[in-house]
Amino acid sequence: MAKIGLFYGSTTGNTVKAAELIRNEFGADMVDMVDVGGKSADELKKYDTLILGTSTWHWGGLQDEWALFEDNLTGDTLEGKNVAFFGLGDQKRYPDHFADGMGLLYEKVKAFGVKVVGMCPKRDYKFEASAAELGDRLVGLALDEDNEPQKTAERINKWVRQLKKELGVE
């Protein structure tokens, strides 16, 4: 299978750490990790399958590098691609904005003829509201390194297995 592009933005390193675990779970040779900082839309065009990972900052906002990069997410760069999302957040401190960032990315790309893969049930988390909610699901994988770091590896393991199935890999 062609390589997957895993695009991430991270302020204190949690999203990078999760990105590395996701890459390793797929197999390091299957995934290119791309820090969105300073990148252009051409990077996105190289891949048929994208994994977009962001943390949430500023009470419901995108991570800073993502906020600069998000305008590169256009129909021209994304049409026909598979897209998955993961988001780092803090359920306890920001229960009304949990992992909003990945919801903002989803809202940005959903109209562009993409196939969204990797949605997850929200019952595994405790929060009041999230921009990433879609009925009883979240638009992607939420991770909480502030309160549940012990769950991260298992969540990623399960999610990558789900993604492989949805993408028809293996």
Ligand X SMILES: Cc1cc2nc3c(=O)[nH]c(=O)nc-3n(C[C@H](O)[C@H](O)[C@H](O)COP(=O)(O)O)c2cc1C
Specify the 3-state DSSP secondary structure of 137.
Answer: strand
Span interacting with ligand X, options 67-75, 86-94, 108-116, 158-166, rule CB under 6 A:
86-94
- Asked whether 131 and 100 are in contact (CB, 8 A), the reply is yes
Span interacting with ligand X, options 7-15, 37-45, 109-117, 161-169, rule CB under 6 A:
7-15
Give 70 or 90: the residue with its C-beta nearer to ligand X.
90
Is residue 65 within the footprint of ligand X (CB under 6 A)?
A: no
Per rule CB under 6 A, count of chain residues that contact ligand X: 23
DSSP 82: E
Size (the chain), residues: 170
Is residue 157 within the footprint of ligand X (CB under 6 A)?
A: no
- Interface residues for ligand X in 127-156 (CB under 6 A)? 145-146
Q: Could you give the residue ranges of the DSSP H alpha helices within 27-137?
A: 41-45, 64-69, 75-78, 100-109
Give 81 or 97: the residue with its C-beta nearer to ligand X.
97
Distance CA 158, CA 153 (A): 9
- Asked whether 105 and 86 are in contact (CB, 8 A), the reply is no
Give 34 or 167: the residue with its C-beta nearer to ligand X.
34
Residues lying near ligand X in the complex (CB under 6 A) are found at 10-15, 55-60, 63, 88-90, 94, 97-100, 145-146
